[in-house]
């Protein structure tokens, strides 16, 4: 199965997220589109482990999206941050977007859709949308900002702000490469 080319939305119309890095881990995994498997990320020939705190969320991508470099993106699929307990690498999860973290990574747009699992039993927060999230869980927003601003070294990422669930869906549609 090629996880990159799964449908962006399920047949029922729900956004899908693919987990690369489970919450609570430090080893970066990436999907190898040539070998169709998840592999530890390598940098300068060495296993890439985040020398910071563990990932506070499940990190992955929205399938059938690409943040095209010609339009200012980083060339990768649109990232997704799934607020849930540890979800194994390679899992495909139906999610509900609740926000959009806007970042710039070394001059390239690197947005991240903030989402909760559609399955209420997998959720770790009660927020259903951006307003709920802001009102009840603004500390999580700050934790995510700090994590992504510092996990790869100071000065790599630049925070450009946040958007609501509508901005998240607009980003998905902007970067979607197949219907």
pLDDT digits (tens, 9 = 90+) for 31-42: 998 999 999 999
C-beta of residue 138 within 8 angstroms of C-beta of residue 145: no
The confidence score (pLDDT) of residue 178 equals 63
The confidence score (pLDDT) of residue 74 equals 93
DSSP for 55-88 reads: PSSEEEE-TTB---GGGTB-SSPPEEEE-BS---
Instruction: With cut-offs at 50, 70 and 90, classify the pLDDT of residue 43.
Output: confident
Across 47-58, b (16+ Cβ under 10 Å) vs e yields ebebeeeebbbb
Give mean pLDDT, residues 96-124.
96
C-beta of residue 64 within 8 angstroms of C-beta of residue 15: no
* Domain extent for 99: 3-175
Residue 127's Cβ-count burial label (10 Å; 0-12, 13-18, 19+) is buried
The confidence score (pLDDT) of residue 156 equals 87
pLDDT digits (tens, 9 = 90+) for 112-155: 999 999 999 999 999 999 999 999 999 999 999 999 999 988 88
| 76: phi then psi, degrees, rounded to nearest 5 | -100, 170
What's the rounded Cα separation, in Å, for the pair 73 and 10? 25
pLDDT at 25 over 60: yes
* CATH code where residue 161 lies: 3.90.80.10
The confidence score (pLDDT) of residue 16 equals 98
Q: Which regions of the chain does DSSP assign to beta strands (E)?
A: 15-21, 29-32, 37-40, 42-43, 46-47, 58-61, 79-82, 92-105, 108-109, 112-117, 157-163
Chain Cα centroid distance, residue 89: 13
The confidence score (pLDDT) of residue 167 equals 98
Structural domain total, the chain = 1
């Amino acid at each position: 199965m090629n996880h990159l080319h799964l449908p962006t939305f399920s047949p029922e119309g729900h956004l899908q997220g693919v987990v690369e890095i489970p919450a609570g881990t430090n080893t970066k995994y990436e999907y190898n589109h040539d070998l169709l498997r998840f592999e530890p990320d390598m940098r300068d020939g060495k296993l890439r482990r985040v020398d910071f705190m563990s990932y506070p969320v499940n990190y992955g991508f929205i399938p059938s999206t690409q943040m095209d470099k010609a339009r200012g993106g980083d060339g990768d699929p649109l990232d997704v941050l799934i607020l849930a307990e540890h979800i194994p690498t390679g899992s495909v999860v139906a999610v509900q977007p609740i926000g959009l973290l806007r970042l710039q990574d070394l001059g390239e747009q690197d947005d991240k859709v903030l989402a909760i699992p559609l399955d209420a039993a997998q959720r770790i927060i009660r927020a259903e949308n951006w307003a709920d999230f802001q009102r009840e869980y603004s500390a999580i927003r700050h934790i995510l900002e700090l994590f992504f601003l510092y996990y790869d070294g100071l000065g790599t990422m630049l925070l450009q702000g946040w958007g609501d669930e509508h901005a998240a869906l607009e980003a998905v549609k902007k970067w979607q490469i197949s219907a």
